[in-house]
Amino acid sequence: MQRRMRWIQWLNDERWMGQLLILPMQLLIWFVLIIPMLIVIYLSLVSWQPIMGVDWWQAPFAGLRNYAQALQDQRFLTALGRTIGLVLVAVGMEFLLGLALAIFFHQQEFPGKRLFASIILYPMMLPWVVVGLCFYLLFLDKGPVNYILISLFGPGASVQWYQNPVLALMTIALADVWQWTPFMFLVIYSGLGALPPEPIEAAMTLGASRWQIFRYIVFPMLKPVLMIALIIRALEAFKIFDLVYIMTGGGPGTSTESLSLYLYRTGFVYGQLSYAAAMALLILILVAVIARLAVRPLEAELEAR
């Protein structure tokens, strides 16, 4: 009896309870990720391709040469810049559209709301391969989009979507926005649903305008959720691969190549696994630094609460 009490007490001790709660996650991450991660780091420090006929653990040591090579690799650096640009444009649009839609759906009551919300969520439920194929076909030279343009504006209106790099990137961004605005909508809409109504009701009785309520009450309360949605989405968009691979293959030349596509080519097509590992670690460091800067204000705010 005494022992059991101690046990329960221990379970309810804040420190131990906290540790216990995070334990399953820790174990899983350590179990699945830590060894592959060590292998990645090791690979980035050697010079190895499977076709060299040497086993990976016997490959000659290369020091930081792979990293130095990456920092001078024009194709890598341009792909990096291009990907960052794509993320800013696509995620920015997804955020604004998702926010607007979520507010609209939160405020309005109309029949069939659940059905329409389902429709809005639909694009992200399709397998990515299908989304890529769908947009690839839509924007083909002789695809439906050009057909509509031609029948509206005459034969001169046909656009070569994949030939001009800027247009091709816009098409890719469009596909991404179409596919992932639903995510922003989902997170923000559920965030709005989780807001406590009293402050809003209080402000309303005080005669605040809709904009004031949003700006000074809803927005601050929603901010953690908004930040999380933005960060998660930006991290995912940064890895954009399927759409680029299917729609342009990175072409013409490398003018629409994303970072992940270049990594794929380096690692899987050229078989330069150790160079790919070095580039990936550089990307990890860069993204981690940026994300850290983005997360910090969020954490500070939560601590201040």
Q: How many residues bind other proteins (CB under 8 A)?
A: 132
Q: What CA–CA distance (Å, rounded) separates 254 from 251? A: 5
Listed residue (98, 110, 97, 120) closest to 189, CA to CA? 98
Indicate which single residue of 127, 154, 156, 207 sits in contact with other proteins (rule: CB under 8 A): 127
In order of 24, 40, 145, 146, the CA distances from 35 in angstroms are 18, 9, 48, 50
Indicate which single residue of 64, 68, 88, 119 sits in contact with other proteins (rule: CB under 8 A): 119
Q: What CA–CA distance (Å, rounded) separates 253 from 262? A: 12
292 binds other proteins (CB under 8 A): yes
**1 or 304, CB closer to other proteins?**
304
Q: What CA–CA distance (Å, rounded) separates 21 from 6? A: 19
- Exposed e or buried b per residue across 117-130, where buried means at least 16 C-beta atoms within 10 angstroms of its C-beta: beebeebbeeeeee
Q: What CA–CA distance (Å, rounded) separates 107 from 142? A: 42
Indicate which single residue of 28, 64, 68, 77 sits in contact with other proteins (rule: CB under 8 A): 28
Site string for other proteins, 51-90 (x = CB under 8 A): xxx-xxx---------------------------------
- Restricted to residues 178-207, the positions that interact with other proteins (CB under 8 A) are 178, 183, 186-187, 189-191, 193-198
Stretch that binds other proteins, among 59-67, 87-95, 210-218, 227-235 (CB under 8 A): 227-235
Those residues whose C-beta lies under 8 Å from the C-beta of residue 235, and which sit 6 or more positions away, are: 287, 291
96 binds other proteins (CB under 8 A): no
Instruction: List phi, psi (to 5°) of 46.
Output: -115, 175
Least Cβ distance, residue 217 to other proteins (angstroms): 14
- Restricted to residues 235-254, the positions that interact with other proteins (CB under 8 A) are 235-236, 238-239, 241-242, 248-254
Indicate which single residue of 7, 10, 122, 216 sits in contact with other proteins (rule: CB under 8 A): 122
